Amino acid sequence: MKIILKIVELQAILAVEKQKNKLIGFVPTMGALHCGHLALVEQAVAENDISIVSIFVNPTQFNDPNDLVSYPRTLEADCALLEPTGNAYVFAPPVEEIYPEPDMRQFGFGTLETVMEGRFRPGHFNGVAQVVSRLFDIVQPDRAYFGEKDFQQLAIIRALVRQLELPVEIVSHPIVREADGLAMSSRNTRLTSEQRKNAAIISQTLFAGREKKNRLPVGELKREVVEKINAVPELQVEYFDLVDGDNLQSVHDWSDSQYIVGCIAVYAGDVRLIDNLRF
């Protein structure tokens, strides 16, 4: 596995591979890798001739400067985890390589970006669109792999690909969970032992709530989920919504959609965790 820091070096290598008609699989990450990331990489390795993982903490998608500063950066450990997967290349550029000049592009995704994460993290999805489009332009993959934990981000990226008419297939992978149900996340490493224990209640409450689908009205179920999580020490729900999985708009009755997803963001102390579950 080769680590590459420069765009010109990566593109020179990929040009040779593409001349051989090799299929390129790409897994964009911000590092601090865990088993959820590795599942994406293993899928990319299995489904393509060449797999590339990018490790780049993208500053334009952090609306909270403190979150950017505290985001874990563990390149050496990440590469050690990737080595056994069969991944061919790690692209780990410095910020000035991706953004030699400030990226002033503005993207629009309509109602997809105004709800949930978009409501509470203004500018976040524009930053995601900037970096993903930039990386796609550099790598020009045949397939790109994203986890379903970032459910709204996945919808935005699909919309981005349609908007820009990019020749890349977006492949999603189900959420990978810890044994107690907590969705795997790089931010989990920032939890204290007590916060980590309590954070498992987020997914447990979602799964328990799903069992009550059609027995409770949508609004009542939403209130119950929020109240149960907020009753746990150091947990505070930022939002919980039941939405149509295609357009991300709130549902008000179980009959409103055949594809309903419960999406949630919760603070455990000052660590922000997200999760979702199909209802």
pTM of the model: 0.95
Q: How confident is the model at residue 67 (pLDDT cuts 50, 70, 90)?
A: confident
| CATH 3.30.1300.10-classified regions of the chain | 186-278
Assigned architecture for domain 186-278: 2-Layer Sandwich (3.30)
CATH of domain 2-173: 3.40.50.620
CB atoms within 10 A of CB 155: 19
For the chain, the three-class secondary structure string (H helix, E strand, C coil) is: CEEECCHHHHHHHHHHHHHCCCCEEEEEECCCCCHHHHHHHHHHHHHCCEEEEEECCCHHHCCCHHHHHHCCCCHHHHHHHHHHHCCCEEECCCHHHHCCCCCCCCCCCHHHHCCCHHHHCCCHHHHHHHHHHHHHHHHCCCEEEEECCCHHHHHHHHHHHHHHCCCCEEEEECCCECCCCCECCHHHHHCCHHHHHHHHHHHHHHHHHHCCECCECHHHHHHHHHHHHHCCCCEEEEEEEEEECCCCCECCCHHHCCCEEEEEEEEECCEEEEEEEEC
- Do the Cβ atoms of 173 and 40 come closer than 8 Å? yes
- Cβ atoms of residues 187 and 156 within 8 Å: no
User: Does 69 score more than 90 pLDDT?
Assistant: no
Of 34, 37, 173, 252, which residue is the catalytic one? 37
Task: Give 106's Cβ-side CA count (13 Å radius).
Answer: 2
Cα separation, 180 vs 196, in Å, equals 10
Q: How much is the pLDDT for 65? A: 86
Task: Give the residue range(s) of CATH 3.40.50.620 domains in the chain.
Answer: 2-173
pLDDT digits (tens, 9 = 90+) for 159-218: 999 999 999 999 999 999 999 999 999 999 999 999 999 999 999 999 999 999 999 999
* Catalytic residue check, 34: no
Q: Measure the CA–CA gap between 274 and 276, rounded to whole angstroms.
A: 7
Rounded to an integer, the average pLDDT of 245-272 is: 97
* Beta carbons of 52 and 168 less than 8 angstroms apart: no
- Counting residues of the chain whose pLDDT is more than 70, the rounded percentage is 100
End-to-end CA, the chain = 40
**What residues does 243 pair with on adjacent strands?**
250, 261
Residue 241 and residue 189 in contact, taking contact as beta carbons nearer than 8 Å:
no
Q: Which pLDDT tens digit goes with each residue over 209-235?
A: 999 999 999 999 999 999 999 999 999
